[in-house]
Chain A
Amino acid sequence: MNYLNESTTLRSWFLTTDHKRIAILYLLSLTFFFFVGGMAAVLFRLELITPEGDLLSADSYNKLFSLHGIVMVWFFLIPSIPTVLGNFLIPLMIGARDLAFPRLNLLSWYIFMAGGLFTLTMIVAGGVDTGWTFYTPYSSTYANTFVILAATGIFISGFSSIATGLNFIVSIHVLRAPGLTWFRLPIFVWTIYATSLIMVLATPVLAVTLALVAVERILGVGIFDPSIGGDPLLFQHLFWFYSHPAVYIMILPGMGVISEVVPCFSRKRLYGYGFVAMATLAIASLGFLVWGHHMFVSGQSMYAGLLFSLLSMLVAVPSAVKVFNWTATLYKGTIFLKTPMLYALGFIGLFTFGGLTGICLATLAFDVHVHDTYFIIAHFHYIMVGGMLMAYLGGLHFWWPKITGRIYSEWWGRVSALVVFGGFNMTFFPQFILGILGNPRRYHTYPDEFQVFHVMSSLGATILGIGYLLPCCYLLWSLKFGRRASNDPWHATGLEWRTTSPPPKHNFLSQPTVSGPPYAYESPHPELVIGEGEPEPH
């Protein structure tokens, strides 16, 4: 008996309060939204193969990139690792039977789906053309598209985020197993904790800001309305107070996954555990003080720009600490290049690249040059897709045996990791060049001389798309035909590996206790084989 087969009716799934089942519900719904957002990208990448606007009109192009941004940010990237891997793993990792508020956890999924339903309605009704940023006064006064519907969808899903974050914070404080002190927690738990902090403290500001835009559209006046002395820039301040930290909602859990995967496949203790944990908290809190770097050319005071520029560069320090520590963990380790590790190594490279270009953008003068060009697009896709999505896939592969009890095809796993890595770079590296050359974002046409880069980018996107479809196939295949996983197929540490795969309903048959630090990896036996699964019983 395990959590998957203890009851199989639909009702038992839709009314479940088991965090593991809720994680599966999220996994399925997020995969759906990911492909909705992906379809939009397919369409506008097709359009951008030629310099003329021959496939899409300017209006549909605007709607498609807005849809892509809204769906990907709020209905995939932000919930992804926390609600899927976090939901599944946090109680297991802290040795608890469930999250602190199981019913709230289920409710948060329903709230999320309600927000998603509004967003889908918005898409079907005709879309929105403000971009995912909803800048005023365009969104509040001029746009003739479904701004209120879109804002409502995001507003609602925000409360799902808040509920999830609150649940994690309380669980990590209250429900840790005996002996599991703060500095014995896996880094993944630390990163989810820091992420929850941001969810709880930043999301409400976004909610009220979007509500104010809706009020302004309904009443005809509002606090961003220049005709009564309102400042449209105030919207940007409030929006980025959430949306910059939101970048860390997306990337911090990814860093957590990498911090689990790298020690396991190097068979070494994580280098500088305390520094990684503290860097996580530092990123989460410093990240709240840098939002003005999105507003350097908006009319914000130059002096505020200087302050935000300086603080933005400071955030690079804890991020660099982490990259250094992962690299130092690899050093002289016994490295197994399994699928999760390939994703993790890809993450480290792409995140570093995205981070370094981020420092470029935090520099005032350079930002003036590349603001609103493809350089920005490339930069944040290196963080969100190259970083976060690689980590998500890496984590999904790493814990797949625990979630499903099955081993996927290692060969296909490695192929997909390489295809995703290659396709990603081919899609987004040319966009750095486009940005430097001055191609602005959000236009459906461009001068002829940029075509070669756009064609490369669209080609890369096709490869990337294949890279995403592959795991869908072989992971599903493994559910039926994969070998059975042992309790700890990677010989990893951590409480989640001390229960069966898949775990029973309340996670552990007896309350686990912890008596030592995490990542107690030792130099392995030369014949150590990991990730092979149990031989089929005859």
Chain B
Amino acid sequence: MANEMSSEIAIPYDSADQQRSAATFGMWVFLATEVLFFGGLFVGYVVYRYEYPEAFRTGSAELNLWSGGAMTLLLLLGSMLVAVVDHLIAPSADNRSSLRGPVVRRLVATTVLGIAFLALEFHEYHQLIQDGRFPGHAFRLSDVSSDPLDGRSVEMFFTLFFCMTGLHAFHMCLGILLVGGMAVAIGRSEQPRSLANPMSVIGLYWHFVDIIWVFLYPLFYLVR
């Protein structure tokens, strides 16, 4: 068994355990980077919400709270499935004869949930663009002109909205590709357990993208 494993260990490492902890720790460091990547935008959000609270209330009222809530639920459900997969495939888990089926089913479900999330989000984008809520020349000021700067502060709200949810959607796309790719790789693999490390790392990424949305939802959809 030990010999079998050692062939999979990369050059810098002495043991599979060491390699696994390097992989997860590396991913966490990367997630800290990602926090700061979104962080620049969160700083912007804090500053402008502090400066124009009314505009944020006006803007938020135009977003569909229920659609946003449904999107949150989709992500939470996907996260749960990924957590179960990570648990099933982990080297510490008990050796069951076949884990390919249950793992692949859950990963495919997660991918579908992610795509549904993006569909809802792009539907919302579409509506907002139709309503003249996309920042730039087409932005319709007439119905928000009572807000600061003749309504242009509402344009700031939507600039932040599109930047932050857009960046999140970009991360979702990557996540869907990674989780979907993982489903394919595990489905084809002779030894699914040899993919435990990449699965854990991708799982962490997926949860992180979920956490970002958990904050974006109240900050944009639920402003009072």
A, B in one complex: yes
Residues on A facing B (Cβ under 8 Å): 91, 96-102, 162, 166-167, 169-171, 173-175, 200-205, 207-209, 212, 215, 219-223, 227-231, 234, 237-238, 241, 506
Chain B hits for A175, CB < 8 A:
12-13, 18, 22
Chain A hits for B30, CB < 8 A:
162, 166
Q: Does any Cβ of A come within 8 Å of B119's Cβ?
A: no
Q: Are B44 and A223 in contact (CB under 8 A)?
A: yes
Bound-state CA distance A223–B49 (Å) is 12
Q: Are A96 and B33 in contact (CB under 8 A)?
A: no
Given contacts A174-B25, A200-B29, A228-B155, 13 further A-B contacts (CB under 8 A): A101-B26, A162-B33, A166-B26, A170-B25, A170-B29, A174-B22, A201-B32, A205-B37, A208-B40, A219-B136, A222-B159, A229-B55, A231-B47
Interface residues in B153-174 by Cβ distance below 8 A to A read 153, 155-156, 159-160, 163, 167
- Closest beta carbon of chain A to B134's beta carbon, Å: 9
Q: Does any Cβ of A come within 8 Å of B8's Cβ?
A: no
Contact flag A170-B26 (CB < 8 Å), given A208-B38, A208-B41, A221-B135:
yes
Interface residues in B113-142 by Cβ distance below 8 A to A read 135-137, 139
Q: Are B136 and A220 in contact (CB under 8 A)?
A: yes
Contact with A along B33-50 (1 / 0, CB 8 A): 110111111011001100
Q: Are A205 and B32 in contact (CB under 8 A)?
A: no
In the complex, residue of chain A having the shortest beta-carbon distance to the beta carbon of B18: A174
Q: Are A205 and B40 in contact (CB under 8 A)?
A: yes
Chain A hits for B135, CB < 8 A:
219, 221-222, 228
| CB<8 Å pairs between A and B, sample of 19 | A167-B26, A170-B25, A171-B12, A174-B21, A175-B18, A175-B22, A202-B36, A207-B37, A208-B37, A208-B39, A212-B163, A220-B137, A221-B159, A222-B135, A228-B153, A228-B156, A229-B52, A229-B153, A238-B44
Bound-state CA distance A220–B156 (Å) is 12
Interface of A is mostly: helix
Contact flag A173-B33 (CB < 8 Å), given A204-B40, A212-B40:
no
Chain A hits for B155, CB < 8 A:
221, 228
Bound-state CA distance A169–B40 (Å) is 23
Chain A hits for B36, CB < 8 A:
201-202, 204-205
Q: Are B33 and A100 in contact (CB under 8 A)?
A: no
Which residue among A219, A230, A506 has the maximum number of chain B CB atoms within 10 Å of its CB? A230
- Which of A169, A215, A228 interacts with B163 by CB under 8 Å? A215
Contact flag A204-B156 (CB < 8 Å), given A173-B25, A221-B136:
no
Q: Are A166 and B33 in contact (CB under 8 A)?
A: yes
Q: Are B136 and A223 in contact (CB under 8 A)?
A: no
- Closest beta carbon of chain A to B155's beta carbon, Å: 5
Bound-state CA distance A98–B10 (Å) is 10
- Closest beta carbon of chain A to B164's beta carbon, Å: 10
- Closest beta carbon of chain A to B173's beta carbon, Å: 16
- Closest beta carbon of chain A to B42's beta carbon, Å: 10
In the complex, residue of chain B having the shortest beta-carbon distance to the beta carbon of A167: B26
Q: Are B12 and A98 in contact (CB under 8 A)?
A: yes
Chain A hits for B12, CB < 8 A:
91, 96-100, 102, 171, 175
In the complex, residue of chain B having the shortest beta-carbon distance to the beta carbon of A238: B40
Chain A hits for B38, CB < 8 A:
208
Chain A hits for B48, CB < 8 A:
223, 229-230
Q: Does any Cβ of A come within 8 Å of B11's Cβ?
A: yes
Chain B hits for A101, CB < 8 A:
22, 26
Q: Does any Cβ of A come within 8 Å of B152's Cβ?
A: yes
- Closest beta carbon of chain A to B22's beta carbon, Å: 5
- Which of B10, B25, B41, B156 interacts with A230 by CB under 8 Å? B156
Bound-state CA distance A123–B79 (Å) is 45
Q: Does any Cβ of A come within 8 Å of B181's Cβ?
A: no
Q: Are A229 and B40 in contact (CB under 8 A)?
A: no
In the complex, residue of chain B having the shortest beta-carbon distance to the beta carbon of A203: B33
Chain A hits for B29, CB < 8 A:
166, 169-170, 200
Bound-state CA distance A97–B38 (Å) is 35
Bound-state CA distance A78–B169 (Å) is 31
In the complex, residue of chain A having the shortest beta-carbon distance to the beta carbon of B38: A208
Q: Does any Cβ of A come within 8 Å of B185's Cβ?
A: no
Contact flag A223-B33 (CB < 8 Å), given A98-B12, A228-B152:
no
- Closest beta carbon of chain A to B45's beta carbon, Å: 9
Q: Are B33 and A228 in contact (CB under 8 A)?
A: no
